[in-house]
Each structure stands twice: as C-alpha cells, then as structure tokens.
Chain A
Amino acid sequence: MWRLTKIELFKIFRKPRTYIAFVAIAAIVFLVQLAFYLDGEKYMGFMMASVESAFTIEGNMVNGYFVFFIILQTLLVHVPLLISLVAGDIIAGEANMGTLRLLVGKPVSRTNIILSKFWSTCIYTILLLTFMAILGLLGSMLLFGTSDLLILKTDKLLLINRYDVLWRYAAAYGFAALSMITVAALAFLFSVFAENSIGPIIAAMSVIIVSTILSTMDIPFFNAIKPYLFTNHMLNWKGFFDRPVDKPEVLKSALFLVAHITLFLSLSIYVFRKKDILS
C-alpha cells in the first residue's frame, strides 16, 4: 500500500496545479499579516468599539495568536476549494488523461488503488494545513509577538491566557484536519463518477456552499436539519476556543465527521470496484 501511496504522492507533487493551493494560502496569510502590521490597531479599535465603554483592555492585543485566529477564520472557509482541486482530480483527472486504464490494467487491486489515492489525498490535505499553520502561526508569532488571545464572540468577550493558547491551536489543527479530510473524501467520491476534474470540483464545492449557507442561516426549518449537515460540524474547531471546552459537543462533531469520511470512502470503493473503465 505504501508503494502505491508513494507513487500517488509523486504524481500529485509533480503537477503544477498542486502548488496553486500553497501559493494561495501563502498569499492570503501574507496579506492578512501585512494588513495587521500596517493597520492592526485601527482594526482592534473598530472591533472593540461596542465594548470600549464597559472594559479597559491593555497590552499587546494585536499579537501573533490573535492574527492567526483571524487567519484561521478566513481561511478555513476557503481551504475546501483548494483541497477539492486535488481531491476532485485524483481519479477523474486520470480518467480524462486516459491513464486510469493503465493503472487498472496493472496487477494491483482496485481497492488498493482507491485507498492509496485516498491516503495520498489525506497526506496532501495535512501538508496544506501544516503549511498554513507554520506560515500563519509561527509567522504571526515572529511578526507580532505573543500575548493573551482576545476572542470577541456574539455574546461574550473571551480572554485566553497566553500559556493556555498553544494546546488549543494544536487541537483545532487536528479538528480542522478531520474537517478538511471530510471535504477531500466528498470530492474524492465525486471524482470516482466523473471523467474530467471540473465536475467533481464544482460538485463538491456546490455541496459545501449550499450546506454552509444552510448552517449559517438562523431559520427554524434550517435549524432542524443543521445537526445532520457535516459542514455545520466542520465549524466546531472553534469549540477549542471556549472556556470551558464543551468536550462532548466537540467529540460528537468529530465522530460525525469520521462517520462521513467512512461513508464517502466506502461508497468510493464500492463504486470503483464495480465501474467499467471506458475512458
């Protein structure tokens, strides 16, 4: 299996499109950091305007932890698109190129082909998130220093001690990895059905956009279906930045995502094993 996964990773990282996601993330992180570097105090002033009369907050509020929190909030909405670019292409792209028939005609089981492609997609996803974490967190810590993390929620203002922040980011990173692998698994499933990459990428993004809209709209009818939307659970990485952390809720969401990954992957294997390769 590792032999096949290495081949898949080699193919992924030889494709120029693979690096689009890394360049995009680097650009967004750099721009957000630049904006905070030049105008961070003004942003903080605007954010705190409503509570300024009740609180006096002193210290370095525009610090590395805070900047990375803003980056995470921005990026984790858009990263699914970047992940779909690779996950949606991984089988459909081969069908489009005509190389899928070469692959399936080799003495390797179809299940192993699918699993190796899925593992390599997961590794790509984790590498992308790690890149984002290194650039976003370490870069921001170097540029802005460290201090307590101030989080403004709809109903409260939360101040997390600087020594209590890093484990939360580590946990949120793990949860984000699970969320993004769920997105990858969905795009991967669509990829099994298609013979060009555009279809699965658009289909995966459409599902995520529609589900995210449903998750964020506060309408009673939508509220009833929200618990069943995996996109709703994907946002629960923020749960690690509550005090105390609602562990059962975060665990429930994590299990929900794992169940979706298992479902999408099992369906992919089932369909691919039955599929006639006509490309």
Chain B
Amino acid sequence: MPVIIQTSNLSKKFTEVMAVDDLSFSVQSGEVYGFLGQNGAGKSTTIRMLLTLIRPSTGSIKLFGKDLQGHRNEILQKTGAIIEKPDLYSYLTALQNISIMAKLSGIYLTQKQLIQQLERVGIGERAKSKVKTFSQGMKQRLGIACALINNPELIILDEPSNGLDPQGIADVRNLILHLSKNEGKTIFVSSHLLNEMELIADSMLIIDKGKKLAEDKVKDLLNPADTLVEIDTTNNEITKLALQQSQWSQFLRPSEGIILKMHRQEIPGLTKFLVEQNIQVLAIRPKHSLEDYFLSLTTANQHVAAYEN
C-alpha cells in the first residue's frame, strides 16, 4: 500500500508554546485514519501544516510521496479539506460558494453538476439560498461538498460531525465509509467523538500536548483481551448469580449492573452460556473501549478523575 501522508519529526512552536512536538506518522492509501486528541492537543495545527496554512518549525511532510513545499499545488489539487468549522462566504448562495471552490481547484462544472454535488450531501434544494440562512449542520454539509468538489484522492476532515444532529452524524459516517470503501479515497479525520471514530477508522493516531502517544490499527490499539462487556437481562439478579456459579465468575467486575472484563473472542461463548441458562437477554454491549483507552493515555483522565472524586 503506498503511503499518502508521511510526516517526519514535525514540530511547530508558537512563540513559547510547542503546539506540535516531534510528530511522525504515516497514512496508507485507502484507509480511514483517525486523529484523536483533546482540545489544544495540536490536531488543528497539524492539519494546517498538512495544508500549507502553517509552516512547520522543523521536520518534513510528504504527501503522495512528494515534498509538500516543493509540490504544493500538485498535491493540493488531489486534496480536499475541511479545517475546523466550515466558514464559507455567508453573503453568497450555496451554489455560488461551491462554484468558487471548484474554480479555485481549477475545475469547471455546469450548474447541474454543482447542484448534484450539493444533493450528495442533502442540501440540493437549498442550492440558491444564501449561506447566512443556513444552520450549523447545513454549513457543515456544504463544507463537505466543497471539500469533495475536486474529487480528491486525499480528504482531510477536521471535526466533520461538529454541529450535526444524530441523523447528520450518521450521514457523515456513512459518507466517509462510502468514500473509503467504494471510491478508495484516503481519509484523514480528526474528531472528539470517540465512538464515531471507533466505527469508521482503520488506523488511529492519538496525540496529547503536541506529542504522539500512540499510532496503530484500531483493532490493535484496543486490546481485545481487556474488553468490558455489559449485560442487561430481564432479571439481572438471577443472571449475576448464574455467572458467579460458573466459569465466567473470574471475569465479573464489581458493579451495580453486570459487567465482565474479558477477551472480545469470548463474547459468543458467554452468549451461548446465557441462552443455555434460559436467561432472557435484552442486550450484550461491549463498552466504548476507545474512550477508556483514550482516557488512560491522555491527560484527560486527570480531569475525569477529578470529577469522580
């Protein structure tokens, strides 16, 4: 698999603040690459460096195997992006905005083709409305349409689900998965919605205070041996008793409900056991282990601990 993004020892210092510190990572072609970090961790600074908005203090960036500074226009021709919130020309219509973005990317589309791009993100019927009348969610959709207008090979999305309602979040998730799986796009996406990232990302990079904490395939990052499984049945007391008297007792964790810590592979066996015991199962939920993992790595866990006390 060719490497699409390759950064080496990337750093950015603003006066006295080290926003990004010696960051090296690589993104393979065709993968959805999640970029996680708390607010102020250096995500947006990194994304801005990938798009030449900010000049790195040290280190290098290669996109599509070429030096970013040396081949800037050629690289950006194949890239689409949303950077932070999708600010557009509020006094222009959605159609005028997307038309400008297309022309800036050096492509000329008919009005019909431009409207089709807007329909793709569900705002085709508002094509001729001014952006200042749009909700945050509609602006986000328009931002995504603008990012995709040049049919880019690499799509960089900074918090693409910001401001969207649950349906919008699901639509963006499906769009990302569609672009990756069906159209072979490489997608670099930052988000603070950990469960969303878990659903879409193939690989993940976690940063904190500008430094890399972890980078790996999602399935390898989330240790399957430590999966927390929550069970809900019609009678939790009886279920708990049955589990305590079985081989599964070793996995039980003290809690008000029923929570077991076990290898993900054991879940089918546990399900079978519950069925054999004639227990009416309402739900078996592996907990959001990415959140647990993220909190364990970053300084965010200190804040969580403070609230728990």
Enumerate chain A interface residues (CB-CB to B < 8 A): 3-4, 7, 10-11, 14-16, 97-99, 101-109, 274, 276-278
Q: Are A106 and B54 in contact (CB under 8 A)?
A: no
List of A residues within 8 angstroms of B103 by Cβ: 3, 7
B52 within 8 A of A: yes
Q: Mark B60-77, 1 if CB is under 8 A from A, else 0.
A: 000000000000111111
Q: Are B74 and A107 in contact (CB under 8 A)?
A: yes
Please name 25 pairs of A and B residues whose Cβ atoms are closer than 8 Å in the assembled complex, sorted by A: A11-B89, A14-B96, A16-B91, A97-B87, A97-B90, A98-B85, A99-B89, A101-B48, A101-B53, A101-B83, A101-B84, A101-B87, A102-B87, A102-B88, A102-B146, A104-B51, A105-B76, A105-B81, A107-B76, A107-B77, A107-B104, A107-B106, A109-B72, A276-B53, A277-B53
List of B residues within 8 angstroms of A10 by Cβ: 96, 100
| A179 CB → nearest B CB, Å | 30
Enumerate chain B interface residues (CB-CB to A < 8 A): 48, 51-55, 72-77, 81, 83-85, 87-92, 96, 100-101, 103-106, 146
Q: Are B87 and A98 in contact (CB under 8 A)?
A: yes
Of the candidates A99, A106, A109, the one having the most CB atoms from chain B within 10 angstroms of its own CB is A106
Query: In the docked arrangement, what's the CA distance between A15 and B96, Å?
Result: 13
Q: A10-B100, A276-B54, A276-B55 are in contact. List 11 more A-B contacts (CB 8 A).
A: A14-B89, A14-B91, A16-B91, A101-B87, A105-B53, A105-B76, A106-B105, A107-B75, A109-B72, A109-B73, A277-B54
List of A residues within 8 angstroms of B52 by Cβ: 104-105
Query: In the docked arrangement, what's the CA distance between A11 and B81, Å?
Result: 21
Nearest A residue to B12, CB-CB: A276
List of A residues within 8 angstroms of B48 by Cβ: 101, 276-278
Choose among B74, B89, B104 the residue that contacts A106 (Cβ–Cβ < 8 A): B104
Closest 4 CB pairs of A and B: A98-B87, A107-B76, A277-B53, A106-B104
| B113 CB → nearest A CB, Å | 18
List of B residues within 8 angstroms of A103 by Cβ: 104
Nearest A residue to B93, CB-CB: A14
List of A residues within 8 angstroms of B96 by Cβ: 10, 14
Q: Are A105 and B51 in contact (CB under 8 A)?
A: yes
List of B residues within 8 angstroms of A4 by Cβ: 104
Q: Are B87 and A107 in contact (CB under 8 A)?
A: no
Query: In the docked arrangement, what's the CA distance between A278 and B92, Å?
Result: 23
Query: In the docked arrangement, what's the CA distance between A58 and B96, Å?
Result: 59
List of B residues within 8 angstroms of A102 by Cβ: 83, 87-88, 101, 146
Choose among A14, A99, A104, A108 the residue that contacts B53 (Cβ–Cβ < 8 A): A104
List of A residues within 8 angstroms of B81 by Cβ: 105
Query: In the docked arrangement, what's the CA distance between A108 and B96, Å?
Result: 19
Q: Are A7 and B104 in contact (CB under 8 A)?
A: yes
Choose among A7, A97, A106 the residue that contacts B76 (Cβ–Cβ < 8 A): A106
| B149 CB → nearest A CB, Å | 10
List of B residues within 8 angstroms of A105 by Cβ: 51-53, 76, 81, 83
Query: In the docked arrangement, what's the CA distance between A97 and B146, Å?
Result: 16
Of the candidates B52, B88, B104, the one having the most CB atoms from chain A within 10 angstroms of its own CB is B104
List of A residues within 8 angstroms of B83 by Cβ: 101-102, 105
List of A residues within 8 angstroms of B105 by Cβ: 106-107
List of B residues within 8 angstroms of A98 by Cβ: 84-85, 87
Nearest B residue to A276, CB-CB: B54
Query: In the docked arrangement, what's the CA distance between A276 and B53, Å?
Result: 6
Choose among B51, B84, B87 the residue that contacts A99 (Cβ–Cβ < 8 A): B87
| B13 CB → nearest A CB, Å | 11
Query: In the docked arrangement, what's the CA distance between A10 and B101, Å?
Result: 13
| A112 CB → nearest B CB, Å | 10
Nearest A residue to B130, CB-CB: A14
| B73 CB → nearest A CB, Å | 4
Query: In the docked arrangement, what's the CA distance between A162 and B104, Å?
Result: 50
Query: In the docked arrangement, what's the CA distance between A144 and B90, Å?
Result: 45
| A109 CB → nearest B CB, Å | 7
Q: Are B73 and A278 in contact (CB under 8 A)?
A: no
Q: Are B104 and A108 in contact (CB under 8 A)?
A: yes
List of A residues within 8 angstroms of B85 by Cβ: 98
Query: In the docked arrangement, what's the CA distance between A157 and B92, Å?
Result: 53
Query: In the docked arrangement, what's the CA distance between A101 and B101, Å?
Result: 12
| A94 CB → nearest B CB, Å | 9
Query: In the docked arrangement, what's the CA distance between A240 and B269, Å?
Result: 98
List of B residues within 8 angstroms of A274 by Cβ: 55
Query: In the docked arrangement, what's the CA distance between A224 and B257, Å?
Result: 88
List of B residues within 8 angstroms of A11 by Cβ: 89, 92, 100
